[in-house]
Chain A
């Protein structure tokens, strides 16, 4: 009692069977056509998202628009560009009460920038990525008044490489680009 159409009338094609075969042929043809159209544009090399630091306007969207609760965008430091200033405009508030590590004097809302003394009068600034939320306050201070050695990058140990990066759609500087997975960073090397 299984009315498989071909079983009930062997060698004979009924209307429903004919429609289905036609439908399948159409489906296969359109799938194949689609494949042919996009295959030329497909790439074996994987792509990942990255921030072009020359376009970044340090607006702060990276901290709030990543799909991860703590953004995969972090501040990174190009140490060779850094002036090792005692009065670091990335580290300190515009008009600090004192040049010490007190929270009220610091730009960073999470104390992610650590300041260590190297030699008189130089201090080294390093980023604790577990604390950094990518808010770009330090990047703003360093780029506008300093050497611009602090900048934002997507960290690929954290980034889940979304199909479409949620921050890229709100980026005020239109700075989000896709880069080859083999070269996943756009590091600053000069001013």
Chain B
């Protein structure tokens, strides 16, 4: 440390007038003496033992070996391939359950849930914004591989590789249907959470997605009381509500959802043939099953109401984005206090005129003492972070406005469907509905062909009247990306 301080003191010394030079020299000597006492000589020289006592070694238990990181990546890739195979080829729920258990054991309890794909969003963001951050290859692979699979085959990762999803999927015993208004309303939370996670990671403030992860404490069987309680509560809720974290919070799920909406292949109840028997209608515990729909409202009055809603949503789009950006700008100050440097800089300004605390020092006092040695550096850093937030929070606010506007747009649109099919975005590829489809069971040879009436590829019967409250759910298109 002395080699850092000395030049800083010596440099101004050269420009000092001769009258003050003596004083400077004295200060320097005292300073160096103080430094010497701290860092050069031990106060109590280590003894020479006459009894031949041997000094013990300071132990250094090694960190996790590097090759294990590649093992994680290999397990992830293998798991994704296996999950996709079970979903598309074997059509096997049993296989996915086995994968889920394996994933909970490996990525959950053995790896203790870290690094996970959900948190890797923040690592990638930080690597984009901070050139000094070395992104671990594992974090990058956990970010890219599930997304690459989502763009090709949908959410294979959610189906049985993500330990968070697998845990919630296995505790789901008595699924209840979430009312459509609640499902739609809570459905925008993941995008907002994603935006917040990216904002705080980009500014180097905090990894909030990791901090508030409810299941990591369960995998570690250790953690802050509040998060342990939250994790257990969410699991208890998950007994009745299918995958509450995945559907209403998971920020990586939001990304996977976008990817799987445009995926090359999609999961179907049966790749063969839908006879509209309606047996699969209630099979999905995650509200992802979409019913056949003519693509527009039933009568002229309802169609006019839809058009009106669409128009309002289009008009609201820029208004919501603008309002969000303005709100974000207004909250830039408070949001920047998520960064520890900003907090300590504010303490520094408040305590500017007070003498340093003595007696029993709290951690805050010690931190203040540290930054007092070089207040300008801390204040400059804090100002820089504030500036980043002045740009970042309006963008985040605009993003929230955009998410709400797109949700409104999607609610005003209808999508034409002739068959029962899982929603591209919402489907977790859990393979439950496969077991409900008699055509699918015959196709796989589980049931004899005689078990169902002969297939008749005649035009589809008229759309059956869906149950009342599922109308709104089926009316919502895939994240509003498809026109009616």
Contact = CB atoms under 8 A, between A and B. Distances in A.
Interface residues of A, number: 76
Nearest to A31: B147
Contacts of B60: 184-185, 187
Interface string B197-226: 000000000110011000011001011100
Contact of B63 (A118, A122, A181): A181
A103 interface: no
Interface in A50-86: 54, 57-61, 67-69, 76-85
B58 A77 contact: yes
A48 B127 contact: no
Contacts of B293: none
Contacts, number: 208
Contacts of B120: 163
A162 B262 contact: no
B312 to A, nearest CB: 23
Contact of A122 (B49, B134, B211, B258): B49
Contact of A81 (B39, B46, B123, B369): B46
Interface in B111-141: 112, 114-115, 119-120, 122-124, 127-128, 131, 133-140
A102 interface: no
Nearest to A78: B58
B17 interface: no
Contacts of A178: 134
Given A160-B114, A161-B114, A82 B367 contact: no
Contacts of A163: 114-115, 119-120, 122-123, 139, 207, 210
Contact of A147 (B44, B124, B258, B264): B44
B483 A15 contact: yes
Interface stretch (B6-14, B267-275, B397-405): B267-275
> Which of B147, B272, B274: most chain A Cβ within 10 A?
B147
A130 interface: no
B210 A162 contact: yes
B137 A44 contact: yes
Nearest to A175: B370
Interface of A: 1-3, 15-16, 19-21, 23-24, 26-28, 31, 34-35, 37-39, 41-48, 54, 57-61, 67-69, 76-85, 118-119, 122, 124, 126, 145-147, 155-157, 159-164, 166, 169-170, 172-174, 178, 181-182, 184-185, 187, 191
18 contacts: A1-B273, A31-B151, A41-B133, A42-B140, A46-B63, A46-B69, A59-B363, A79-B56, A83-B44, A118-B51, A146-B43, A161-B63, A166-B211, A169-B340, A172-B370, A173-B370, A181-B64, A191-B42
